[in-house]
A and B are shown apart, each in its own frame.
Chain A
Amino acid sequence: MSRLALLLARLTAFVFATTCASLAFAQGEPIRVGLLMIKTGPFAAPGKQMEDGLTQFLRERNYTIAGRKVELITADTAANPAIAKTKTQELIERNKVHVLVGPLAASDMLAIDDLIREAQMPIIASSAAAEDLTQRKLNPWFVRSAGSSGQISHAMADYAAKDLKYKRIATVADDLTFSQEVVAGFQHVFEESGGRIVQKIFSPIATPDYATYVTQLKPNLDAVFISFSGANGPRFLKAFGDYGLRGKVAVLASMTTVDEAILHTMNDDVIGVLSSGWYSAAFDNPENRKFVAEFRAANKSDPGLYAVGAYSAGLFLEQAVIAVNGKVEDKQAFMKALKAVQIKSSPRGEIRLDAYANPIVNAYIRRVERKDGRLMNVVLKTYPNVSQFWTFEPKAFLANPVYSREWPPAKNLE
């Protein structure tokens, strides 16, 4: 009898000890954050911004949140969805991360969607803007810290139609799903406000020379709306100016086209270009002044959307981790906390998430100007509380097909 009691006691003690040990072990373990970015090839510069933005956040917090150390592990997806999948698996299984940030490209995100669901891995998408991720194809483990593709171009279209009173616009954009969504968002609001998109051009992503496209533009345009990534924007603007269109036709751009990451490499060709974005390095609030100063000191350029998206992901992470008292291992609670974040102040203003895990942001209308010797996106107007649905009713919006090349249908083409 006593032997049984002894055995039970030992068993209980053992179980108790190991449970305590594992809890203590878990508490002592760092929070591992996996960052999916791109280090090689044409997206190397935005990829670096992602890393810089997140590391700046972590540095500010001394790599500690809610008393737990934070460890950052980066992975290069090389803009190849198959590699993105492999790297995601590596981060989940080998590095045993607790949360993922990124990836950079929307196509990478769509490729790893099923892995995320299976592994039940919380992911904060800091730049992938694909609309349906927060609309019709919701993933319960997904939260976005940037914005959706069309969200911001809605504001640009409104400004163009109502403030600038433009009527005839042509669009030129990269032939990528992302840019197609951006253009669709612009077209949707612009035509609802009485304007007409008279021409839609999508150029291959590897276009060495934009002369053909620039010279195809219809006459008597009020403006051209452009959406490019990387070097394509400056190249287009150069051809635009070279063929004498600067000053004759206004240029409205998407956020990525004149993002701070490439803005500093551009020349005066770009001055006067209007764009919309959920951030500008020139946005004046105390957090941003501090953020930009630190970023400038640590890196060559000003922070742009990739850096701030990643920094915002850090802010989300912080709030959610604090809300669960550091227990990120409790995935359900952590995910719930992530979706409930409300950032009162940040370099980009207030951020909170809508019911679909997409941020409700301030949309800034910006103009490129040279200030203190550097090119900056000076803020002209702020649209507060812009959701991915603009002023449309969410259910009605979702009943339509997702933004694409074909939707909304272009009825006013000449």
Chain B
Amino acid sequence: MKAVLIGTALAALVPTLLGSSFHINLATQVLIAAIFASSYNVLAGWGGLVSFGHAAFFGAAGYGAALLVLKAGFGHLAAAMLGLAFATVLACIIGALALRATGISFLMITLALGQILWGLSYRWVSLTGGDNGLTGLKRPALFGLSLDGAAAYYYFTLGIALVAFLSIRRFAGSSLGASLRGTRDQPRRMSALGFNVWLVRWVAFVYAGFWAGVAGLLFLYYHRFIGPHSLSIAESAEVLLMVILGGAGTLTGPIVGAAIIVLVRNLISAYVEHWPMLLGVLFLLVIMFVPEGIVPGIASRLRALRASGHKAPAEAPPHT
């Protein structure tokens, strides 16, 4: 709880600390990616279900809301809710189809269904604008306060991010979360114990899809733009990388992973021309030295350091 409060306080200070709207905007992008990555962590980290089509829900919510506002004249709140609903329903359907399999087949089904959605957004030009995407969206005013400014939108995103992270933490700590981890580690035993493994996984899938949709909406309103790229394999692969890099199955891992990838892509790329190679080397280094991910790796190093300073090693609370 203390960590949460400190983290929130620091996060709230970010606009004042950073100053320039460019940097504040970067921070907003990090938060959006962090929500997306955390949602994926539910599925891949705690559920052990590696999906290659998670961007489908991210993009579906964005496209849904954008289309309703731009083409059907809906108000922002209604459009956002409906877009989110669209993404969640999609998650229900895709989850039901994909969870007929596990492991690599699951991965491929999610990949395939995600690609089908991507293909639709690319090809159905009259609806989605094709490769040009949908532009011209304006940010709504929240209770009369404009969200157009960098700091304003940052705080808005931060608020939603806090809700997301706390909610996901609650989920992880709940019995459903524990069951999910059980189905990841020992599916047969869980089944033998009477758990409906499929149902647990499906609920997790839909829950993950929901928060991915939330991230997608924030993305839409941040960029005031959405295009097929948000539904692409590259996007799904990127969120997978964020989670693995930061530490799958941990709470803060995805946030760290998201921060690193967003910053390298947007900030470091201005200084380092061969930033993809830098990213690749980073991946390899992480794998070699902290294969469980950065957050667990650092945490265990810290624990080891602390332990070496005590007579008896401290009982580290399981950080799941």
Contacts and interface: CB of A to CB of B under 8 A. Distances in A.
Interface of A: 39-40, 75-76, 78, 80-83, 85-87, 89-90, 93-94, 106-107, 110-111, 113-114, 130, 175-177, 404-406
Contacts of B230: 82
B224 interface: yes
Contact of B132 (A40, A110, A114): A110
A177 B131 contact: yes
Contact of A111 (B23, B126, B225, B273): B225
Nearest to A130: B132
- Going nearest first, the 4 A-B pairs with the smallest beta carbon separation are A93-B22, A94-B22, A111-B225, A110-B132
Contacts of B223: 81-82, 85, 111
The secondary structure that dominates the B interface is helix
B229 interface: yes
Nearest to B230: A82
B224 A107 contact: no
B132 A90 contact: no
Contacts of A106: 132
A83 B130 CA distance: 18
Contacts of B20: 93-94
Interface residues of B, number: 31
Given A81-B225, A81-B229, A93-B21, A114 B135 contact: yes
Nearest to B277: A40
B27 to A, nearest CB: 12
A111 B227 contact: yes
A81 B132 CA distance: 9
Q: Is the interface of A mostly helix, strand, loop or mixed?
A: helix
Contact of B225 (A40, A78, A82, A89): A82
Interface string B147-177: 0000000000000000000000000000000
A80 B229 contact: yes
Contacts of B225: 81-82, 85, 111, 114
B229 A89 contact: no
A40 B22 contact: no
A302 to B, nearest CB: 24
B284 interface: no
B269 interface: yes
A365 B132 CA distance: 29
18 contacts: A76-B269, A76-B273, A78-B265, A81-B227, A82-B223, A83-B266, A85-B223, A85-B225, A87-B266, A89-B21, A89-B22, A93-B21, A93-B22, A111-B133, A111-B135, A111-B227, A114-B135, A177-B130
Contacts of A85: 223, 225
Given A75-B270, A81-B225, A85-B223, A114 B136 contact: yes
A166 to B, nearest CB: 29
B209 to A, nearest CB: 21
Given A76-B273, A93-B21, 12 more contacts: A40-B275, A75-B270, A81-B225, A82-B227, A89-B25, A93-B20, A107-B131, A110-B132, A111-B225, A177-B131, A405-B125, A406-B126
A28 to B, nearest CB: 23
B103 interface: no
A82 B229 CA distance: 9
A201 to B, nearest CB: 14
A110 B133 contact: yes
B280 to A, nearest CB: 12
Nearest to A405: B125
A31 to B, nearest CB: 20
Contacts of A405: 125
A90 B276 contact: no
B109 to A, nearest CB: 21
B132 A177 contact: yes
A217 B219 CA distance: 43
A86 B275 CA distance: 16
Q: Name the residue among A39, A87, A90 with the largest chain B CB count within 10 angstroms.
A: A90
A107 B227 contact: yes
Contacts of B133: 81, 107, 110-111
A405 B123 CA distance: 11
Interface string B120-132: 0011011000111
A130 B269 CA distance: 27
B29 interface: yes
Nearest to A406: B126
A125 B130 CA distance: 21
